[in-house]
Amino acid sequence: MHEEVNPQKARTGLSRVWHALGYSIHGLQAAWYEKAFRQEAIFAVILLPSAFWIGQTWVEIALLIGGVLLVMIVELLNTGIESAIDRIGPEWHALAKRAKDMGSAAVLMSLLFCLGIWIAAIRALVMP
């Protein structure tokens, strides 16, 4: 008989959802120890409420909030990539560097996207 390595694979229904929620919370707790994620979370505490003041319509508010959340999501994925690479081994490898660089580039692109949305929204507010 084949035994599952991961007990989550055998769960179904609400039990699977409940346990997945727990794993997600553990992931957010682990991310808090990453300096970049903490900085982005602090900015989010400021920017998310500001989106309701700056945004003129629900679409603008959603874009402002979505841009901030996108940065945090991409940072979580980047940290996951870095952790997986570090788990494999500490030695330098061209593919490990490439994976980490691409994750970092994804964070940069999400930051530029977010910045562009916020600049456009503020500019529309200041210069109607």
Residue 71 tokens read as: 């940065």
Task: Exactly one of 4, 34, 40, 75 is catalytic; name it.
Answer: 75
Query: Cβ of 61: how many Cβ atoms within 10 Å?
Result: 17
Is the distance from CB of 111 to CB of 37 less than 8 angstroms? no
Give 2's DSSP letter: P
**Alpha-carbon dihedral 91, 96, 97, 99, rounded to 10 degrees:** -160
Residue 29 tokens read as: 């707790």
* Residue 34 annotated among the catalytic residues of the structure: no
The set of catalytic residues is 75
